[in-house]
Structure 1
Amino acid sequence: MPSINPEQSARELMSSPVRTVRPETTIEEAQKILLRYGHSGLPIVDEGRLVGIVSRRDLDIAAYHGLKDTPVKRIMAAQVRTIEPSTPLSEIQGVMGTYDIGRLPVIDQGQLVGIVTRTDVLRKLQPVPETLRLERFAAPFQKIFAIASQAAEDRGWHLYLVGGAVRDLLLADPTAEVGLSDIDFVVDGFHQSAEVGAGVELAKCLQKIYPQARLEIHGKFQTAALLWHNDPELGSLWIDIATARTEFYLYPAANPEVEASSIRQDLYRRDFTVNALALRLTNPRAHELLDYFGGIADLRSHQIRVLHPNSFIEDPTRIYRAVRFAVRLGFEIEPQTEASIRHAIASGLYNRRDRPVPALQSRLRSELKYILQARYWKPAIQKLADLDALVCIHPSLKLDRELWRQLKWADRFQRFDLAIPHWQLLLEVLIAKLDDRATVAKTLQLPHDAIERLTKLPAIEAALQPSEKPSEMVQLLKPFDSETLALIAARGARSIRRSIYQYFNVWSQIKPPIDGSDLKTLGYKPGKQFKQILEELLVLTLDGKICDRTEAEQYLAEHYPLN
Structure 2
Amino acid sequence: MESHLSPKQLAFIKQAVSVASKYKVSLYLVGGAVRDLLLNIPIRDLDLVVEGEANLLADKLAKEISGKVISLSQFNTAKIVFPDGEIDLVSARSEIYPDPGDLPVVKLGSIQDDLLRRDFTINAMAVRLSPGQFGTLLDPCNGQQDLQMKLIRVLHDSSFRDDATRIIRAVRYEQRLQLNLEDATAQLLNRDVSMLCSIRGHRLRRALEETFMEEQPWLALERLTRLGALNAIFLHLDGITNPNTDLTALRESIHNLTGLHYLAWLGYRLNHGQDEQFISRLNMSKAWANVIRDIGYVRKVIADKKTIHSPVSTYRELKDRALEAVEVATALQLKDSYENKVMQRYLNEWRNLRPILTSHRLIQLGIPKGPELGKVRQALVESHLGEGKVTVKDEEAIVSEALEKLKQE
Change in CA separation of 1:393 and 1:516 when aligned onto 2, cut-off 3 Å: closer
Inter-partner Cα distance in structure 1 for 2:219 and 2:127: 32
Inter-partner Cα distance in structure 2 for 1:532 and 1:271: 56
- Superposed, which structure 2 residues align to 1:378-397 within 5 Å? 378-397=218-237
**Is the Cα contact below 8 Å between 2:26 and 2:130 reproduced in 1?**
yes
Inter-partner Cα distance in structure 2 for 1:304 and 1:450: 32
Tell me what 1:209 maps to. 64
Change in CA separation of 1:204 and 1:478 when aligned onto 2, cut-off 3 Å: same
**Is the Cα contact below 8 Å between 1:274 and 1:299 reproduced in 2?**
yes
1:146 CA drift (Å): 2.5
1:532 CA drift (Å): 9.5
What stretches of structure 2 of length at least 5 have no aligned partner? 403-409
Inter-partner Cα distance in structure 2 for 1:527 and 1:164: 60
Inter-partner Cα distance in structure 1 for 2:7 and 2:367: 68
Amino acid at match of 2:61: L
Q: Are 1:140 and 2:3 counterparts?
A: no
Inter-partner Cα distance in structure 2 for 1:344 and 1:540: 58
Tell me what 2:311 maps to. 470
What stretches of structure 1 of length at least 5 have no aligned partner? 1-132, 189-193, 352-356
- 1:450-497 CA-to-partner distances (Å, cap 9, x unmatched) read 325534664565456334332232233234343453454355445665
**Is the Cα contact below 8 Å between 1:158 and 1:282 reproduced in 2?**
yes
Inter-partner Cα distance in structure 2 for 1:450 and 1:471: 27
Change in CA separation of 1:152 and 1:487 when aligned onto 2, cut-off 3 Å: same
1:261 CA drift (Å): 1.5
Inter-partner Cα distance in structure 2 for 1:341 and 1:372: 21
Change in CA separation of 1:461 and 1:164 when aligned onto 2, cut-off 3 Å: closer
- Superposed, which structure 2 residues align to 1:402-551 within 5 Å? 405-411=245-251, 415=255, 422-435=258-271, 436-455=274-293, 458=296, 461-462=299-300, 465=304, 466-486=307-327, 488-490=329-331, 492-494=333-335, 498-510=341-353, 539=382, 541-544=384-387, 546-547=388-389
Inter-partner Cα distance in structure 2 for 1:506 and 1:455: 24
Tell me what 1:100 maps to. none
Change in CA separation of 1:415 and 1:136 when aligned onto 2, cut-off 3 Å: closer
Inter-partner Cα distance in structure 2 for 1:140 and 1:459: 48
Change in CA separation of 1:252 and 1:550 when aligned onto 2, cut-off 3 Å: closer
Inter-partner Cα distance in structure 2 for 1:527 and 1:376: 50
**Is the Cα contact below 8 Å between 2:225 and 2:243 reproduced in 1?**
no
**Is the Cα contact below 8 Å between 1:303 and 1:332 reproduced in 2?**
yes
1:403 CA drift (Å): 5.5
**Is the Cα contact below 8 Å between 1:303 and 1:331 reproduced in 2?**
yes
- Superposed, which structure 2 residues align to 1:235-384 within 5 Å? 236-237=85-86, 239-283=87-131, 285-345=133-193, 348-351=194-197, 357=198, 359-384=199-224
- 1:479-531 CA-to-partner distances (Å, cap 9, x unmatched) read 4343453454355445665433321212234568x8589x99xxxx7669999
Change in CA separation of 1:450 and 1:384 when aligned onto 2, cut-off 3 Å: closer
**Is the Cα contact below 8 Å between 1:537 and 1:552 reproduced in 2?**
no
Change in CA separation of 1:444 and 1:284 when aligned onto 2, cut-off 3 Å: same
**Is the Cα contact below 8 Å between 1:163 and 1:278 reproduced in 2?**
yes
- 1:310-359 CA-to-partner distances (Å, cap 9, x unmatched) read 101111111111111111111112121111101112xx4444xxxxx4x3
Inter-partner Cα distance in structure 1 for 2:282 and 2:378: 42
Moved more, 261-270 or 364-373: 364-373
Inter-partner Cα distance in structure 1 for 2:392 and 2:141: 80
Amino acid at match of 1:301: M
Change in CA separation of 1:406 and 1:543 when aligned onto 2, cut-off 3 Å: farther
Tell me what 1:35 maps to. none
**Is the Cα contact below 8 Å between 2:298 and 2:318 reproduced in 1?**
no
Tell me what 1:185 maps to. 48
Moved more, 322-331 or 530-539: 530-539
1:268 CA drift (Å): 0.7
1:283 CA drift (Å): 4.3
Moved more, 325-334 or 532-541: 532-541
Change in CA separation of 1:428 and 1:542 when aligned onto 2, cut-off 3 Å: closer
Inter-partner Cα distance in structure 2 for 1:413 and 1:263: 48
Change in CA separation of 1:405 and 1:144 when aligned onto 2, cut-off 3 Å: same
Inter-partner Cα distance in structure 2 for 1:467 and 1:424: 24
SS in structure 2 of the partner of residue 397 of structure 1: helix
Tell me what 2:406 maps to. none
Change in CA separation of 1:141 and 1:503 when aligned onto 2, cut-off 3 Å: same
Change in CA separation of 1:498 and 1:157 when aligned onto 2, cut-off 3 Å: same
Higher helix share: 2
Amino acid at match of 1:227: V
Aligned-residue Cα RMSD (Å) equals 3.7
Bigger Rg over Cα: 1
Change in CA separation of 1:216 and 1:540 when aligned onto 2, cut-off 3 Å: closer
SS in structure 1 of the partner of residue 235 of structure 2: coil
Inter-partner Cα distance in structure 2 for 1:240 and 1:156: 20
Tell me what 1:150 maps to. 18
